[in-house]
Amino acid sequence: MTAQDRPTALAGNGRPAQLALFARNFFKHPRMLGSIIPSSSFLVRRLLARVDWQHARVIVEYGPGVGTITRELLHRMPPESTLVVLETNQEFVDFLQQSLPDPRLRVVQGSAETVQTELARLGLPAADYVLAGIPFSTMSATSRASVLTSSLDALSPQGAMLIYQFSSRVLPDLRRVFSDVECDFEPLNILPAKLYYCRP
């Protein structure tokens, strides 16, 4: 079955319901989401352009929300790969479990700081890619450092962390933790987004 043939990757794609859920949670937890609407298709395409799909066996996503990027990951991922999404918001966890019944998807209610523990619990090797849109700029310096260090430790030596943000505040931390950091920009998003490609 090809990526285009897999119906589960696109199931539950009711855009109005997604937008309503996302907006409601933005007003409840604005510091956790950072934007009132999900990422644009332009941002998703630019972010995922750096993924080598032939070698992507374990992918981790932090803060998937209503699954805008999650759906595209599942659409592109090979059949034998696994996607682990870490989400602290119970409403989003429930929504993802109900709307994306894909056997390659593992929805975990938990923090990005526990990524290594969750990979070990699921019996998975180091991640090939970690994707993150969580708002690093609103975190404490301690939490930000903890998430980035945990992410580095969870990556395979050839892996990469792909990050999109609406602020450049995290960049100095990225350069302290990772040996190689590339910067990019996507103007066609609300808000315009800064992208960072980080390697161990």
* Separation CA 157–CA 137 (nearest Å): 27
Q: Which of 193, 197, 198 has its CA nearest to residue 68? A: 193
What is the number of domains present in the chain?
1
* Separation CA 183–CA 87 (nearest Å): 25
| CATH number where 82 lies | 3.40.50.150
pTM higher than the cut 0.85: no
Phi–psi pair at 83, nearest 5 degrees: -115, 120
Asked if 38 and 19 count as a contact pair (C-beta separation under 8 A), the reply is: yes
Q: What is the pLDDT of residues 98-133, one digit of tens each?
A: 999 999 999 999 999 999 999 999 999 999 999 999
Residue 98 CB neighbours (<10 A): 11
For 180, what's the count of Cα atoms within 13 Å in the CB-facing half-sphere?
Answer: 7
User: SS3 sequence, 165-183?
Assistant: ECCCCCHHHHHHHCCEEEE
Q: What is the pLDDT of residues 130-165, one digit of tens each?
A: 999 999 999 999 999 999 999 999 999 999 999 999
3-state DSSP helix/strand/coil % of the chain, to nearest 5:
45, 25, 30
**Residue 81 belongs to domain spanning:** 3-199
Q: What is the pLDDT of residues 58-92, one digit of tens each?
A: 999 999 999 999 999 999 999 999 999 999 999 99
